[in-house]
Structure 1
Amino acid sequence: MRRACNWAAEPERPRGLGAVIARRLAADGLAVAVNYRSDRAGAEKVVAEIQAEGGAAEAFAGDVTDEGQTADLVARAATRLGPSEVLVVNATGPQPPVAVEELTWQDHLDQLLFFVKSPTLLVQAVLPGMSAYIAAKAAQHAMTQTWARELGPYGITVNVVAPGWIPVERHAGVDEADYLAEVPLGRMGTPADVAATVSFLASDGGAFVTGQRVTVNGGHA
């Protein structure tokens, strides 16, 4: 059985896109390591859903913005599930709206923790044991292209999946009408749409796709 690591460093638990991607990769036959930071019950709920469908998954605690914790949880996952073949970086922290006149450097650093530091720590942690692919959501396309060039000779692919607005639990009650009016395909995207793209990039069918930013937004400008 192939292994996947779905590290989700959301504020509390893997949910929304992370949970759907984890379930899809498990359905594709990968054993999935589901990461959480504080809500063990939430992560174990995702694992239970995967196992109920006949898939393999385990939950692992750890803050993927912390170097020591990241290395430790990757090592624990490898011991339990074997070396990583697929890495899905889905780390997203709080994104409070801040007026430009109130924006501080710390606000920028808070975002860099999830969108730059976390992907870097995870790639460095899983790289020694990798034998197939990386599907990494990184903050900057340039970083993805650099890693793709550097890791390509080892048969490792690196891509960014860039969703449009995909409503999940935290968007409950938000009016979708204005956004939907600008989507050429005429519907809102779903977590399953994003999971399908990740599934392709992690599959043999996506083995020759690397250094790309794959936009999943129904044509929204």
Structure 2
Amino acid sequence: MAAVKGVALVTGASRGLGAVIAERLARDGWAVAVNYRSDAEGARRLTERIRAAGAPAEAFAADVTDEAQVSDLVGRVTERLGPVRVLVLNATGPQPSVAFEDLTWDTHLDQLRFFVKSPTLLVQAALPGMKAGGGGRVIQIGSDIVDRLVPGMSAYAAAKAAQLGLTRAWARELGAHGVTVNLVAPGWIPVERHSGASDEELDSYRSDVPLGRMGTPEDVAAAVSYLASDAAGFVTGQTVTVNGGHTLGDI
């Protein structure tokens, strides 16, 4: 195997998009830190697959919305694999549909914890290692819901819009340290948690996608791979929307 490029930490990586992103980065030559909160078995299986393919990988349990656990997480990753050079902010929580009349401040906080608090804590924890190493990559996993604005999802949309704002502000602020900050905004990418979706729902969504198909986790991982690469060294503060053109009529 070629020399390892450095360490990539992927949050919420025991399954879904995070797992596929972690495997893609491992194939690209990164040592991968697989973060998970409760799915230890999924994280174990993933790290075993990555190692079997010849790349370094270790699993790290942590609640990435908790300040002390985030600090400990980055410390353990640094100690066992090395300083984080690529940080993929993928972890998410439940995304319930809540009618406007039923919104509470706690409804908003539930989303802001994952998409404002957690990214802030993680970037702050990883930044010293990136600066010491001459730079790094921060890649947020956002959502095209900022453009689609689905009824009942205003708290989620607001938090994702805030995540986009952070991406652009941090890109300007951290550029002097050689750190790029970008956001990948997937559309509906069916993963395990969408197993209950009906054929009718899938067909209805697909019919509005110009490319005529549902996206795959591999589509998202390819965008992350590019933003983590040397080829994207002069790309920062940008949003890469991965949805087959689904929102073209909404912009």
The two structures have a TM-score, normalised by structure 2, of 0.84
State the 4+ residue runs in structure 1 displaced beyond 6 angstroms.
Answer: none
Deviation of 1:218 after TM superposition, in Å, equals 0.5
Identity %: 65
Equivalent residues of 2:139, 2:227 under 8 A apart? no
Equivalent residues of 2:17, 2:217 under 8 A apart? yes
Aligned counterpart for 2:230 among listed residues 204, 216, 221: 204
1:168-218: CA deviation from partner (whole Å, max 9, x where unpaired):
011114130111001101111000000000000000011111000110000
> RMSD across aligned C-alpha pairs, in angstroms?
1.1
Residue 129 (structure 2) aligns with = 129
Residue 110 (structure 1) aligns with = 110
**Partner letter of residue 94 of structure 1?**
P
The two structures have a TM-score, normalised by structure 1, of 0.95
**Partner letter of residue 97 of structure 1?**
S
Distance in 2 of aligned mates of 1:141 and 1:77: 26
Aligned counterpart for 1:193 among listed residues 205, 211, 219: 219
Q: How many residues end up aligned between the 2 structures?
A: 217
Q: Secondary structure at the match of 2:84?
A: coil
Unaligned runs of at least 5 residues, structure 2:
143-159
**Partner letter of residue 166 of structure 2?**
M
Unaligned runs of at least 5 residues, structure 1:
none
Q: Secondary structure at the match of 1:182?
A: coil
Q: Secondary structure at the match of 2:179?
A: coil
Distance in 2 of aligned mates of 1:39 and 1:219: 33
Residue 180 (structure 1) aligns with = 206
Residue 47 (structure 2) aligns with = 47
Aligned counterpart for 1:170 among listed residues 186, 189, 193: 193
Distance in 1 of aligned mates of 2:187 and 2:213: 12
Distance in 1 of aligned mates of 2:165 and 2:92: 19
Deviation of 1:136 after TM superposition, in Å, equals 2.6
Aligned counterpart for 2:8 among listed residues 4, 8, 21: 4
Deviation of 1:102 after TM superposition, in Å, equals 1.4
Distance in 1 of aligned mates of 2:138 and 2:222: 13
Equivalent residues of 1:119, 1:136 under 8 A apart? no
**Partner letter of residue 149 of structure 1?**
R
Q: Secondary structure at the match of 1:135?
A: strand
